[in-house]
Structure 1
């Protein structure tokens, strides 16, 4: 049996031992030195000059004097001399000057923090509980990440582009904003007011670095300027003094032209580009942007056109391979609704306008209409659109009431012979429909005195640039000129006037109108690749033009137009009636 303990080397009192108190006291001194071990210094190499009984030190490397040869041991001053205790692995002592615990690892004394292995921990919760998803969880008023040197980066790494690396901001554990790369490598900022539906505010495209604002931008201009997109200098330059954006291809692309057209910077009449259409007629194709116009004024309409020449014998056709081309304007009201012919046309019997007023109230469900004067109402034409009603009390979304424009139109309400020209009563072939009722009256009743007319209809396309145009020669550019202006209040759908209600227009084409499979109306089938080019579509005010209203006859209310035309030889300018002109370039 050993005479000392296994761990602290405390001396045992042996049987029949003399002076047992010496052994006992030796053990007490050792316990007093080691239990609740407080070290006065761990970096000192020489013993202090005036030590106190019980002072303890960890002897540092390079020890001198009485400590020489005891590096790493615990030096304890015992009344008059130094005693040395050899530490075992795992002993812990509080080093008072360092204000931290030191641990002996079997070779050296180390600060306790240096002995901890904090790598690959499963999770860490600081003032809260971490979980398998949130392996690091912190509950705090703030978190600080600062530099250790000159800078600091916070990194969020994802496995692949289709995954998510983002910062999510929550309210009551419900998402309200997110920023990062979610589902791709574009950087996006998204916001939500309910945690379910997110709106993308900004996207920075990873491939180009360009910024998009998919939900729009507020505050970049005064609210009074409207809510449309901001303009670029290139966009403004592409308009020049014209209403049409990118009319000459200055933007370097097909913006504003129909998607059926192809941008062509090679075949062009000294302009940045042209736009060609290939093949057979499909339908009317139009530009993209609305053009705001003042329908009381006159506008000059110009465009360049060129028809491709094709090899072959076309002598059997009066126009050879040159096809009929159409270009005109769609008209729209202040609510961006397209204005068709039936929204303003009125039937005229024997030249007499059917425009009149109600002699008695008219309500949905009624089977007869009592008029002030039915003289101009239809009694001979079998077309159903000439046997209906148009009520001129229509108001737009802002409350403005139009005098000669209406969306309150219904065809086929009476049959021939149901208009009594003596009593001025129109017997209906069906109850007056609810959709024609007065929207401002609970019962939909129109009062006596309401303006009303016999409806009519016609071609809703305004071919004011040109209609059925054949260029004189193929493979040559021509400049066409036409005009439109003034409001047509005649009810006849006069081509050279704006329809009543017009606020915006959009140019359109019927390109290669006569190119049809198998041929059409004296024109050959020239195939699906036959090109026609257009460019320089222009709508500009004609300030020197004059208007004159027709005051008599069936055309009463329409506007005749004269525009200035110069004569180079005489140096004079005269006013002439409008018409389509075509000049070689």
Structure 2
């Protein structure tokens, strides 16, 4: 039998032992030292100068003096001497100077209680299980993070800007919304309906702080205001005085002008800027925004133009270095569809309008059209556009019907000699196409009385501002004026009136029309750097202008206009038919 106990090494009383009380007291002293163990310190290497009986210390590495060589042991002061107890694995000791519970792990004393045992943990799961990815997991109705007297921050840190630092919101463990810095340092909010495809809702640029909404924004204005973009006061101001956005360059960019026109604040007729086009004729080029109009009113059309003088002797050419320019209007209906001449022009035979009505129903697949009156239909002109049909039963997306505007047009449906003006029957050279069917009827049939006409088309462009304009001199600003107003019901493409169906217009140019590579029709090639400037495009209602409908003759249905003409010398204003005026600015 051993002389000492296995765990605390307490001395046993031996048989026939003398002075048994000494052995018994030694065992009690050891018990007194290690049971409910509490020590003064665990980091002190030098013995105290005046210890008291019962003082205990955990000896760290490097102990000196009377403690030398006793590292890791429990030093106990009793009876004016130090004794040392070697701990066993699992012994616990309360360290008084730091309020910590420490344990002997077989090699050293380690923190085992208080705050210390929560440092550097692999996982923490509160009411749920944490794992290698979600090392902190909490299952609870709420999670509270509160202040400790002042403010409180929640920090999400990432290693590099290309990494992710974000908060991810899930539904049934599938992502539905995320906010943070994802792949860069811009702050973003994005959402998903399926956890796979995310749409960016908001992005705040890290460098500038500018916020963008990549998927758009709704609800900032009442739905009754429509779904167009929001604008600022500068944009609104740029539409004055003549409805055309950025007409004078107030926005400081070439916005609304064609992309080939350069913003140029160094050349302008007392306006913020002009817009310069350089070089050979580029074809039609227009503004990007439409201008809403009331086609019943009369508008004064104004613009400024200046042609650059080209170096050299151009005296051999009748217009020298001045090139021809055109400026007109595109027209659009309430759906934003462009209105072209074929959508309203009608053929007239010997001055008689071909507009009539159906005398019998008409369906897709039919090979004849029975008219009320065929006297105005074509029997002499071979052009394809004059051998077609326009049915005036078109309705826009709002169900609005038009009497003199239609997109139900097909060319080349009959040949010369196939219009019988006695029976008023038109024989088609092909079955009536489905594209001309009645969209309000299941079989596409048009009823008796439907308006119909022989189609016609001469041109698709309306040069409402000016046509074939040559400025009087180069390097001088000129202001052009003309007028347009009233709705043309004649079907003759009258340039002074709006086409039927017009709800908005858009200005366009044919700049440097006669500047072509190698020269063109009596005009020189003045090079790819030859400039022309435009600015001040304006459409203003002219309250003094008047109109009168033409009721007879080959142009019946159009409006004649009279517009004010002022005379500085006589201090008078008179009315005259509109024409393009070009005056030095």
Q: TM-score when scaled to structure 1?
A: 0.87
Alpha-carbon distance in structure 2 between the residues aligned to 1:214 and 1:536: 33
Alpha-carbon distance in structure 2 between the residues aligned to 1:108 and 1:132: 28
Secondary structure at the counterpart of residue 385 of structure 1: helix
Secondary structure at the counterpart of residue 112 of structure 1: coil
Match of 1:67 in 2: 53
After superposition, the C-alpha distances for 1:450-472 in whole angstroms (9 at most, x for unaligned) are 00000111222221111110111
Structure 1: tracts of 5 or more residues without a match: 45-60
Match of 2:297 in 1: 297
After superposition, the C-alpha distances for 1:94-152 in whole angstroms (9 at most, x for unaligned) are 799x9984547999997724554733x55444443344443443333333444567444
CA contact (8 A) 2:53 2:77 kept: no
After superposition, the C-alpha distances for 1:131-187 in whole angstroms (9 at most, x for unaligned) are 444344333333344456744433334444444332221111222212222233322
Match of 1:460 in 2: 460
Match of 1:417 in 2: 417
Match of 1:48 in 2: none
Structure 1 residues 196 and 151: alpha-carbon distance in aligned structure 2, compared to 1, 3 A threshold:
same
After superposition, the C-alpha distances for 1:327-358 in whole angstroms (9 at most, x for unaligned) are 11100000000000000000111111000000
Match of 2:245 in 1: 245
Match of 1:112 in 2: 113
Query: How much has 1:8 moved relative to structure 2?
Result: 2.0
Match of 2:228 in 1: 228
Match of 2:430 in 1: 430
CA contact (8 A) 2:346 2:453 kept: yes
Alpha-carbon distance in structure 1 between the residues aligned to 2:529 and 2:302: 26
Match of 1:506 in 2: 506
Structure 1 residues 107 and 215: alpha-carbon distance in aligned structure 2, compared to 1, 3 A threshold:
closer
Secondary structure at the counterpart of residue 67 of structure 1: coil
CA contact (8 A) 2:387 2:412 kept: yes
Query: How much has 1:538 moved relative to structure 2?
Result: 0.8
Residue 9 (str. 1) matches residue 5 (str. 2): no
Alignment size in residue pairs: 562
Secondary structure at the counterpart of residue 306 of structure 2: strand
Alpha-carbon distance in structure 2 between the residues aligned to 1:356 and 1:226: 38
Alpha-carbon distance in structure 2 between the residues aligned to 1:225 and 1:82: 96
Query: How much has 1:317 moved relative to structure 2?
Result: 1.2
Structure 1 residues 108 and 371: alpha-carbon distance in aligned structure 2, compared to 1, 3 A threshold:
closer
Structure 1 residues 122 and 30: alpha-carbon distance in aligned structure 2, compared to 1, 3 A threshold:
closer
Match of 2:62 in 1: none
After superposition, the C-alpha distances for 1:501-524 in whole angstroms (9 at most, x for unaligned) are 000111111111111112112111
Secondary structure at the counterpart of residue 310 of structure 2: coil
Alpha-carbon distance in structure 2 between the residues aligned to 1:422 and 1:253: 63
Alpha-carbon distance in structure 1 between the residues aligned to 2:299 and 2:574: 17
Match of 2:274 in 1: 274
Match of 2:551 in 1: 551
Q: TM-score when scaled to structure 2?
A: 0.87
Alpha-carbon distance in structure 2 between the residues aligned to 1:28 and 1:570: 135
Secondary structure at the counterpart of residue 339 of structure 2: coil
Match of 1:357 in 2: 357
Alpha-carbon distance in structure 2 between the residues aligned to 1:144 and 1:384: 80
Query: How much has 1:226 moved relative to structure 2?
Result: 2.0
Match of 1:53 in 2: none
Alpha-carbon distance in structure 2 between the residues aligned to 1:122 and 1:102: 20
The farther-off stretch of 296-305 and 195-204 is: 195-204
Match of 1:515 in 2: 515
Query: How much has 1:67 moved relative to structure 2?
Result: 3.4
Query: How much has 1:74 moved relative to structure 2?
Result: 9.6
- CA-atom RMSD in angstroms: 3.3
CA contact (8 A) 1:63 1:70 kept: no
Secondary structure at the counterpart of residue 299 of structure 1: strand
Alpha-carbon distance in structure 2 between the residues aligned to 1:290 and 1:538: 13
After superposition, the C-alpha distances for 1:49-84 in whole angstroms (9 at most, x for unaligned) are xxxxxxxxxxxx98989637656679999xxx9999
Structure 2: tracts of 5 or more residues without a match: 42-46, 59-73
Secondary structure at the counterpart of residue 338 of structure 2: coil
